[in-house]
Amino acid sequence: MSERILYYDCSAGISGDMHLGAMVDLGVPAGYLEQELNKLGLTGWKLQFTRDARQGIGGTRADVILAEGSHLAAPQALPHSHPHPHQPGHDAQPHVHRAHRDIVALIEKSSITSEAKRRALAILA
């Protein structure tokens, strides 16, 4: 079996949903991604993948579907309602925004491998 290597050249960054969709397009099973993300210890969510095309470019769209009443709150994350600006199509339901320190703590407390934690924190930095 040959090893595949993926290089990102995202001068403006990449969103989590875009990354998840790219992983599925590359052949990573959706169930595996969900299994690994469950190691973050967040509840009340599931992933949904669909084919999508915009401006003639196709790919896999990843959506995080929240269970009714779920807000995935972390102790320092503040759930809130709108208004404030988001990208077009962003769900305006009450949701959580996390600060950098909250995401770092979430990764550090997770049950992912030490190497995955190291890489995730390096990418986040």
As a whole number, the mean pLDDT across the chain is 81
* Residue 20 neighbours by CB distance under 10 Å: 22
Please give the average per-residue pLDDT across 21-30, as a whole number: 92
pLDDT at 95 over 70: no
Q: Which candidate, 68, 67, 59, places its Cα nearest to that of 20?
A: 59
What are 59-81's pLDDT values in tens digits? 999 999 888 766 554 444 444 44
Q: Where are the domains of the chain?
A: 1-70, 71-125
* Residue 8 neighbours by CB distance under 10 Å: 9
Question: What is the value of pTM for the model shown?
Answer: 0.69
CB 39 within 8 A of CB 110: yes
CA distance 100 to 76: 11
pLDDT at 110 over 90: yes
